[in-house]
Amino acid sequence: MSRLFLVRHGITEFNSNRRFNGHTDAELSETGCRQAEKLRDRLATEHIDAIYASDLRRAVATAAVISSPHKLAVVPCPELREINYGSVEGLTFAEISESYPDVAAACTEWSVHLKFPGGESFDEFRRRVARFLETLQQYTPEQTILIVSHSGPLRVLLCQLLKIGLDCWWQVRFDNGSLSRVDTYARGAILSLLNDVSHLQSITS
């Protein structure tokens, strides 16, 4: 594999209002666009060989802004989509607690046995995201790959890369507009940077 930059997309109105946003194709808010610009400036001098993003607009738009100094096409990947929240899509946790108390309880426990009604189970989600790792096999250790996705897929990818049990996935945080870095080697991966938002300090939402 290679060096991986992991970026969570800029913020959306769904995120600001703390609503579950999975496959709903929300756009970046004005603040989210500014976060993408800050990421572009942060990564402008890095050598990047390829850019992959979830095919949802909030991720593609973030990746497109970051890619501009590098003259690279963004490769959209459905495997990097957030989990499909099904019937609870767009709801707040309080609304889910009222209408789907069993789902709310599983969310509170961060259960890997969770299945969203009308959406994906955690296992289906995990297996989907894992397929993206096959894409990375084509790159050499000298190459750098940028991945723009969502909190859920980034957590799963990080656990898989570091060979950490997925029951610990909830213990990793990826804020909107954050930058993380994983350096991969034949023997395994090293987490070199996690959830860095220092480039966003001048932005007020």
Residue 70 has pLDDT above 90, yes or no: yes
Residue 205 has pLDDT above 60, yes or no: no
How many alpha carbons lie under 13 Å from residue 155 in its C-beta half-sphere? 21
E-assigned strand segments in 36-167: 50-54, 74-77, 144-149
Q: Which pLDDT band, with edges at 50, 70 and 90, does 106 fall under?
A: confident
The catalytic position among 47, 70, 113, 150 is: 150
The C-alpha atoms of residue 76 and residue 56 are separated, in whole angstroms, by 8
pLDDT of residue 170: 87
Mean pLDDT of 51-80: 97
Please tell me the pTM assigned to this model: 0.95
Mean pLDDT of 119-135: 94
Residue 53 has pLDDT above 60, yes or no: yes
Active site annotation includes 150: yes
Residue 128 has pLDDT above 60, yes or no: yes
Q: Of all helices (H) and strands (E), which one includes residue 185? A: strand 179-185
* Domains of the chain with CATH codes: 3-200 (3.40.50.1240)
Residue 62 near residue 28 (C-beta atoms within 8 A): yes
Residue type, 32: G
pLDDT of residue 186: 83
pLDDT of residue 1: 67
pLDDT, tens digit, 9 for 90 and up, residues 140-168 = 889 999 999 999 999 999 999 999 998 88
Mean pLDDT of 84-110: 93
The C-alpha atoms of residue 165 and residue 57 are separated, in whole angstroms, by 30
The catalytic position among 9, 23, 70, 113 is: 9
Q: Which pLDDT band, with edges at 50, 70 and 90, does 109 fall under?
A: confident
pLDDT of residue 204: 61
pLDDT of residue 98: 95
**Summary mean pLDDT of the chain:** 94
